Amino acid sequence: MPASRTRHLCSVAAALVLTVAGQATAASAATGASDGLREVLFVGNNWDGTADVIRSSGDFARIGRVNVIPDKQQRIAEINADPIKWIYYTSIRNQVGEGHDQYVDDMYSTPDGRSVVVSRPSFADVVSIDLATGRVNWRFPVAGYRADHMAVSPDGTRVAVSASTANKVQVLDIGTGEEVGEFATGDKPHENVFTDGGRYIWNMSIGEVTTSLDSPGWDWAKGDRHITVVDATTFKQVRTIDMRDRLNAIGLNDFSDAVRPAAFTPDWSKLYFQVSFFNGFLEYDVAADRITRVKTLPGNPETDPDRTTWLLDSRHHGIAMDPEGTKLCVAGTMDDYATVVDRSSLQEGPLVPAVKPYWATVSGDGKDCIVSESGADQVTAIDFATGRKVASVPVGDHPQRVRLGHVQADWTGPTAG
């Protein structure tokens, strides 16, 4: 394969806290100093129904693997007994899953490192899996028919999950699976971020991404896409942000306003976000409430120009920032590369070949960007300092989300299936 293939304004500004990767890092920090715990990276293998657990830095060697669908036969029986559930289950497989079931989207470990909580799109639920036995601790069926991205509160006690077909986010107690609150979003809620030490939740809705109405002229058909900001205690809306007006103000009328993965600066003043169909990202000044810079990244000449062939309207899907806030790491999903970008100059570094990279996060030591290569069944580490690849580690079938977490120090995998 050629080398080229391969998201009151001032008060909200003060509330922003964490990059998408930093969100996981903060939850990790809340539990990481405890004795008897080991920091790890969880890699969700979406089509496999497994999560690989690898070292959080260094050689990123695999420590163990968790089956996140131990109740598969029971769930399939329930789906087959309900015609509506069966229709959605089949639709998820044929559209979002590219012909495969979607068994794991997102995951976070509990503060004690004894369980991992997983959202499972095809089963429309969130489950807690005991890391010692591999058994289900609790199960929460989300509203509607599909579970999507999650976020964990900085203290590690709550998870927010997007119920994508119900247009809402549901917040659960991570220990019991009980719902503690919910809030309405735009169409098809996607990414969630806790901010200000857990005081607020930001949700980005992406609209309809499985239709073929992908030309700019049909953008209105994608639905209501906006950022929803709520109080994480009362779940009352603080504000909404629709990027449509902000894009139009700088002449980007043909750009989608569907905010995909996003990263905040450490001082919370800037938001860097990807949008559907665009090979690059945008910079948003939170206090000024405007888009200040646009970065177009190289296109791969071998990428099919037909936008209906791009995965769920993505062109680039995955962005993370180093702990110092000086570098951005971008997953060029449909262009088959990942690259580190200097935040000051917006100059990209080497284009590191990667096969359908689908997510980006930060290693435990903050030195590397970790990219999931969903098309090559591996995760790849890229040095923030040099922009060059340092390691690739084989994982399961179609890795997507990668999150920092913890396990017990002596854990090597479940003892029972």
Q: What is the pLDDT of residues 130-159, one digit of tens each?
A: 999 999 999 999 999 999 999 999 999 999
pLDDT bucket at 31, cuts 50 / 70 / 90? very low
What would be the CATH architecture of the domain defined by 9-408?
A: 7 Propeller (2.130)
Residue 315 in tokens = 């062109």
Nearest one of 145, 90, 93, 151 to 123, comparing CA atoms: 145
Mean of pLDDT values over 71-75: 97
Average pLDDT over residues 354-362: 97
What span, in angstroms and rounded, lies between the C-alpha atoms of 408 and 183? 34
Q: Would you state the pLDDT for residue 416?
A: 57
Q: Is the pLDDT score of 113 beyond 90?
A: yes
- Domain chopping of the chain, boundaries: 9-408
387: Cβ contacts below 8 Å, ≥ 6 apart: 339, 340, 349, 350, 352
CB 384 within 8 A of CB 369: yes
pLDDT of residue 161 exceeding 90: yes
Model confidence band, residue 96 (pLDDT cutoffs 50, 70, 90): confident
27, pLDDT greater than 70 = no
User: What is the average pLDDT across 175-201?
Assistant: 94
Structure tokens at 4: 């080229």
Task: Specify the pLDDT at position 30.
Answer: 39
Q: Using the predicted structure, report yes or no on whether residue 104 has a pLDDT greater than 80.
A: yes
- Write down the pLDDT at residue 417: 46
CA 254-259-261 angle, to 5 degrees, is: 130
Longest dimension (CA), the chain: 58
d(CA 332, CA 339): 8
Secondary structure of residue 79 in the 3-state scheme? helix
d(CA 307, CA 402): 26
Distance CA 104, CA 94 (A): 16
Among residues 35, 86, 21, the alpha carbon closest in space to that of 370 is found at: 21
